[in-house]
Structure 1
């Protein structure tokens, strides 16, 4: 059985007491532990059966970040929800006292490393991602932060911090969608104390479910998708219907180890191959772009992987890992010869 350092700090004890004394259940077969190089996670301590409820949280302990009855032509941005979090839970003395055990374990501005999410990247570092969809996502969120800071009493740096908390700790609960694979999903962001300690896993062994969702007193539960043995980390697949690597990197600041389910869809937008260098390549790229291809890359997959092996660290390493991930999702061959490559996608690419 794998061994982990269990987290018995006062903050975790206070949080568990808060949940358990107010109608929730933090689980008798799991514990908070340090996993994956020291980050917090939840580990199985006793065998769990398929479909067994691992932990639960009443809706009364959920921190809603948006009123779904609000009439708006556009869905709320993460920054809108960040403003609400500050006003509804930090500025309201009663709510602040109620949720103090949860708010107390959230990272403070001084504890937030400046490279946790791409929102904190420099303009040049954002350009180095070379992937239009994530670049626009980051730039749009930073524009939202600047805009909201002019209409609130929050400074851009404070609002960026609250936006980080919202994007990294909240769950987007699906309310309705015409198509489960559609990006046009109506939902509401909520923060779920203790349950948000669960990390993402591409091959997750648990899932978030809602009991009696039509009632005001519904319950959020974490349910085992298959048997889980002691020592195994309990993980979720972040996002309703599954997030892509773009979503995960943008919102949480990490590049997943496996190709996510929606990566194949994103590479059709972001481009598949190296940016043209020679005159002949530029000529071909013009034709290929007219046929629907987009070519943002300045390096090959092999070059990115080689730089990682050479010891790239910090933000540079994350950027290279992201670029390599999207190239693999697009079906790049592992071998690239003399700058020429097979543009056809491999069978089963992106899986």
Structure 2
């Protein structure tokens, strides 16, 4: 999942002094009173930052950590890196199964899974306290940018009416679930949770579940896929095909493991693939809140002939290569029309991202004020870049085809 911005790397060492009692005893419900009290006591090292506490907490609870968390880009994106040279199949993270946060079936809405999580937190305060170190490590309110939390007033910056419409639909659904207007999901949120919850808090937890939970086969029914939240593993960033160097799986004991799929050098970022759709920026922005400037730009999914924000298209960039099924004048005109319809150019967007110019100020174009605005403008600029590159490729392949005749 997309990381936060940090100013310096956070390291973990095996010699950290641990002060937070083990949660396994609590989870087994067979511990002495003293052990249970230790398990639910707050971390004494209050001067540690949340991630350092999390790393120590995992190791204390029979987990394994062989990575560091910190900035992985020059602009401060948070992620994970190899602490030392790693061999193929070496374990980077191992979590005991009782440290995971089980939710519901994978095809349930994020709102339903958020209610499952909140119900457990509110109805089981001892467990909630034990998991406090994990909750503190998650992005806090106001810092997670996903479709559930996109500011409605800024959606116009996307220059993407289709995505903006889908965002509004999702946000309306979240609001209606909380109000009880979706009885097939829940009739009475207050009755389910035993307390009231604000819309902002519900949106926050829904956003976390939507973009920070993983899908695994159910332990009791391997044919069923379930959603689960995994401490620390949700700080590992996405890697595209050929870039990902970690794979996540659940072993026969029910523990969760992230291991290297190839040799990894010390300091190299560790990444796993969220899904193939993340290589297209409308997918990655809509579902996870990030975009990528790839060396070989890929069209937004919805700019492909049969693409959309939910399903992978039957087409790919290979269809625009010489002899491909999309090498046609009709497709050239279709893509050119999409690009021409934008109210700003790629160059204007790039200039705005750099802070604008005197000419922009003369025309009354306001500078970008926060990370959301920058993300939205970056998205539309990259979408235009992919269109431009694909159009140029189409023109060249059409010209080559005509020359051969």
Alignment TM-score, normalising by the size of structure 1: 0.71
**Cα drift, residue 122 of structure 1:** 3.8
Tell me the residue number matched to 1:273: none
Find the residue that maps to 1:65 and give its secondary structure. Answer: strand
Task: Say if 2:256 is the partner of 1:220.
Answer: yes
- Out of 15, 28, 48, the residue aligned to residue 54 of structure 2 is 15
Decide whether the 8 Å contact of 1:129 with 1:323 is kept in 2: yes
- 8 Å contact kept, 2:146–2:286: yes
* 2: CA distance, partners of 1:240 / 1:24: 29
RCO higher in 1 or 2 (8 Å CA, sep ≥ 6)? 1
Shift of 1:39: 4.5
The structure carrying a bigger helix percent of its residues is 2
Is 1:297 aligned to residue 342 of structure 2?
Answer: yes
Where do residues 255-294 of structure 1 align in structure 2 (5 Å cutoff)? Answer: 255-258=291-294, 263=299, 265-268=301-304, 269=307
Query: How many equivalent pairs are there?
Result: 298
Q: 1:84 to 1:5 in 2, by over 3 A?
A: same
**Contact 2:246 / 2:270 at 8 angstroms: preserved in 1?**
no
Q: Which has the larger radius of gyration?
A: 2
Match of 2:176 in 1: 147
Matched, 1:49 2:49: no
Distance in 1 between the 2:303 and 2:295 partners? 12
> For 2:147 and 2:160, how far apart are their aligned partners in 1?
13
**Aligned to 1:66, what secondary structure does the other structure show?**
strand
Residue 84 (structure 1) aligned with residue 116 (structure 2): yes
Measured on the aligned residues, the alpha-carbon RMSD in Å equals 3.6
Q: Kindly state the Cα deviation for residue 81 of structure 1 after the two structures are TM-superposed.
A: 1.5
Contact 1:58/1:218, CA 8 A, preserved across alignment: yes
Unaligned runs of 5+ in 1: 69-74, 176-185, 271-287, 335-340
In 1, Cα distance between the equivalents of 2:204 and 2:49?
24
| 1:87-236 equivalences in 2 (<5 Å) | 87-109=119-141, 112-113=142-143, 116-151=145-180, 152-153=189-190, 154-173=197-216, 187-202=225-240, 204-212=243-251, 215=252, 217-236=253-272
| Unmatched runs of 5 consecutive residues or more in structure 2 | 1-6, 13-47, 181-188, 191-196, 219-223, 309-329, 357-366, 398-405
8 Å CA contact retained: 2:103, 2:116: yes
Per the alignment, do residues 208 and 43 of structure 1 end up closer, same or farther by CA in structure 2, a change over 3 Å counting?
A: same
Task: Report the Cα distance in structure 2 between the residues aligned to 1:234 and 1:102, rounded to whole angstroms.
Answer: 20
- In 2, the alpha carbon distance for the partners of 1:304 and 1:240 equals 27
Instruction: Provide closer, same or farther for how the CA distance between residues 162 and 264 of structure 1 changes in structure 2, counting only shifts above 3 A.
Output: closer
- Encode CA deviations 1:96-148: one digit per residue, 9 max, x unaligned: 13322212322443xx23x7335444434213313245323312220121111
Aligned-partner Cα distance in 1 for 2:294–2:149: 24
